[in-house]
């Protein structure tokens, strides 16, 4: 039996997470596994109920589970709270840190059925299959932050960007291992022409590279990488980068898959891993059944693969998603002429049905 902590969170989180649970339940019945789902509050929803965005009970539940399924966190309602109570800073970042989830895997795969759904040209994106590995527990996100009032009455704000060689080495080795199991190409992204942490990053990649002589190593500045992702995305296999660059590049890379609603993620490194879509809580469409649940469903597939070692089951979910898209079913974010528009629940139902059938 596998224990799964279910944290819907805020905004569309409450709509997409049940659809991923539905997919997992379909896997349960088809393959005879037993998943035990326990729901808990996190983010703004937890703040409203308990006065804190990450209640101790929630953290304890995560620690005592085999994996965590998270929806999304944050929204305008909580944007003006003191910073430590804001859902992102008060819940999502501590959750990542407390669970020691230093490696964030974001696979950008273009499902063939979505070739025409992207705003980018077919010949550019056809065949895209990139794994972005984002360092998740260091860098600017976790550096000391401060505000100072200057003598002239103006203000100064500071965010410290720190990376230790230990933090860099473990994520870079992780990425090399992943590249070795894929097409054997690693692109390390930094800003070593300007930033000191990036210079250390590049040095360490250089030191480790000889241990992986079967993997081709490329260094790329982050500005160039953001351009190359649109110019010729098929040049990439595995991309490894620091926290902030990874955040920005993965939103960009999601468009290679048709929609940010297609980009799943796995955050691993500690005893318990966390699975969440790469997108946010989308307050503008929350509560309207317009959200695309596929990124969350695909995150559940990643859970089966990485936390439970259920590769076949994981592939069945991915295959179900592929078939539903090939049959022309779409949520609004992917809508094109001549396709069948579904709401969040209908899309989840269809994927669950396919899981049981194929
Ligand atoms: C992501 C999100 C988060 C991040 C936000 C919600 C804090 O954008 O997971 O990419 O910046 O890490
Ligand atoms: Mg982001």
* CATH at 235: 3.40.718.10
Establish if 110 belongs to a structural domain: no
Please tell me the predicted confidence (pLDDT) of residue 38.
98
Establish if 271 belongs to a structural domain: yes
Contacts 24+ apart (CB under 8 A), 193-200: 193/221, 195/161, 197/139, 197/161, 197/162, 197/163, 197/242, 198/242, 200/163, 200/165, 200/168
Q: Are residues 251 and 165 in the same domain?
A: yes
Q: Are residues 98 and 126 in the same domain?
A: no
Quick one: the chain helix, strand, coil %, rounded to 5?
50, 20, 30
Q: Are residues 122 and 252 in the same domain?
A: yes
For residue 175, give both structure tokens: 């990425």
Give strand pairing partners of 267. Answer: 104, 274
Q: Are residues 253 and 122 in the same domain?
A: yes
What is the mean predicted confidence (pLDDT) over 206-220?
Answer: 98
Please tell me the predicted confidence (pLDDT) of residue 1.
95
Domain of 335, in residue numbers: 1-102+259-358
Please tell me the predicted confidence (pLDDT) of residue 48.
98
- Identify which of 76, 88, 296 to mutate to test ligand 1's pocket (most ligand atoms within 8 A of the CB): 88
Please tell me the predicted confidence (pLDDT) of residue 337.
84
Is the per-residue pLDDT at 4 higher than 90? yes
Please tell me the predicted confidence (pLDDT) of residue 336.
84
pTM over 0.75, yes/no: yes
Q: Which of 22, 191, 290, 354 is catalytic?
A: 191
Q: Are residues 191 and 299 in the same domain?
A: no
Please tell me the predicted confidence (pLDDT) of residue 233.
98
Residue position matching structure tokens 């693969």: 305
Percent of the chain with pLDDT over 70: 100
Q: Are 306 and 268 in contact (CB under 8 A)?
A: yes
If pLDDT is split at 50, 70 and 90, which confidence band does 160 have?
A: very high
Distance separating alpha carbons of residues 260 and 108, to the nearest angstrom: 10
Q: Are 313 and 103 in contact (CB under 8 A)?
A: no
CB-based pocket (< 6 A), ligand 1: 73-74, 88, 92, 247, 278, 280
Instruction: Check if 25 is active-site.
Output: no
List the alpha helices (DSSP H) in 71-161.
87, 93-98, 122-125
Q: Which of 10, 237, 247, 333 is catalytic?
A: 247
First to last CA, the chain: 23
Establish if 38 belongs to a structural domain: yes
If pLDDT is split at 50, 70 and 90, which confidence band does 17 have?
A: very high
If pLDDT is split at 50, 70 and 90, which confidence band does 71 have?
A: very high
If pLDDT is split at 50, 70 and 90, which confidence band does 96 have?
A: very high
Instruction: Check if 191 is active-site.
Output: yes
Establish if 112 belongs to a structural domain: no
Establish if 268 belongs to a structural domain: yes
Q: Which residues contact 116 (CB under 8 A, 6 or more apart)?
A: 122, 336
Instruction: Check if 66 is active-site.
Output: no
Centre of ligand 1 to C-alpha 160, Å, is: 18
- Which of 198, 226, 257 is at the close of a domain? 257
Please tell me the predicted confidence (pLDDT) of residue 171.
98
Q: Are residues 68 and 23 in the same domain?
A: yes
Distance separating alpha carbons of residues 150 and 172, to the nearest angstrom: 40
Domain count, the chain: 2
Q: Are residues 328 and 290 in the same domain?
A: yes
Q: Which ligand is nearest to the CA of 92?
A: 1
Distance separating alpha carbons of residues 305 and 35, to the nearest angstrom: 14
Q: Are residues 161 and 251 in the same domain?
A: yes
Instruction: Check if 214 is active-site.
Output: no
Q: Are residues 266 and 238 in the same domain?
A: no
What residues have a C-beta under 5 A from ligand 2, the ion?
247
Establish if 182 belongs to a structural domain: yes
Name the residue among 175, 30, 209 with its Cα closest to residue 106: 175
Distance separating alpha carbons of residues 254 and 114, to the nearest angstrom: 12
Is the per-residue pLDDT at 184 higher than 90? yes
Centre of ligand 1 to C-alpha 211, Å, is: 32
Name the residue among 167, 228, 163, 229 with its Cα closest to residue 198: 163
- Which of 202, 225, 257 is at the close of a domain? 257
Establish if 111 belongs to a structural domain: no
Q: Are residues 236 and 265 in the same domain?
A: no
Is the per-residue pLDDT at 59 higher than 90? yes
213: how many CB neighbours lie within 10 A of its CB?
A: 8
Q: Which ligand is nearest to the CA of 136?
A: 1
Establish if 51 belongs to a structural domain: yes
Q: Are residues 141 and 196 in the same domain?
A: yes
If pLDDT is split at 50, 70 and 90, which confidence band does 245 have?
A: very high
What is the mean predicted confidence (pLDDT) over 228-256?
Answer: 97
Centre of ligand 2 to C-alpha 106, Å, is: 11
- Which of 208, 223, 257 is at the close of a domain? 257
Q: Are residues 263 and 251 in the same domain?
A: no
Percent of the chain with pLDDT over 90: 98
Is the per-residue pLDDT at 150 higher than 90? yes
């Amino acid at each position: 039996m596998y224990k799964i902590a279910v944290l819907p969170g805020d905004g569309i989180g409450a709509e997409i997470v049940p659809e991923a649970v539905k997919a997992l339940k379909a896997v349960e019945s088809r393959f005879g596994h037993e998943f035990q789902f326990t729901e808990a509050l996190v983010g703004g929803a937890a703040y409203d109920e308990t006065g804190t965005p990450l209640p101790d009970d929630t953290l304890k539940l995560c620690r005592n589970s085999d994996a965590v399924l998270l929806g999304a966190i944050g929204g305008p309602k909580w944007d003006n709270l003191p910073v430590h109570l804001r859902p992102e800073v008060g819940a999502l970042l501590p959750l990542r840190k407390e669970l020691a989830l230093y490696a964030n895997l974001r696979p950008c795969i273009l499902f063939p059925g979505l070739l025409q759904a992207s705003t980018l040209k077919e010949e550019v994106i056809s065949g895209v299959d990139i794994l972005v590995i984002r360092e998740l527990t260091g860098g600017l996100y976790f550096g000391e932050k401060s505000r100072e009032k200057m003598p002239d009455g103006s203000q100064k704000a500071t965010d410290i960007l720190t990376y230790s060689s230990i933090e860099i080495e473990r994520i870079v080795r992780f990425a090399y291992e992943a590249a070795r199991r894929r097409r054997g190409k690693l692109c390390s992204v930094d800003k070593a022409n300007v930033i000191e942490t990036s210079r250390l990053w590049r040095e360490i990649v250089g030191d480790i590279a000889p241990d992986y002589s079967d993997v081709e190593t490329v260094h790329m500045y982050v500005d160039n990488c953001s351009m190359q992702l649109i110019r010729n995305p098929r040049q990439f296999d595995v991309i490894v980068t620091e926290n902030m660059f990874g955040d920005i590049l993965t939103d960009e890379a999601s468009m290679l898959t048709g929609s940010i609603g297609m980009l799943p993620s796995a955050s691993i490194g500690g005893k318990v891993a966390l699975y969440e879509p790469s997108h946010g809580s989308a307050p503008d469409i929350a509560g309207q059944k317009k959200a695309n649940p596929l990124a969350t469903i695909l995150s559940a597939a990643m859970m089966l693969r990485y936390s439970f070692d259920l590769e076949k089951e994981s592939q069945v979910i991915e295959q179900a998603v592929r078939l539903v898209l090939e049959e022309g079913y779409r949520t609004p974010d992917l809508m094109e002429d001549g396709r069948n528009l579904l709401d969040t629940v209908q899309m989840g139902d269809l994927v669950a049905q396919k899981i049981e059938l194929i």
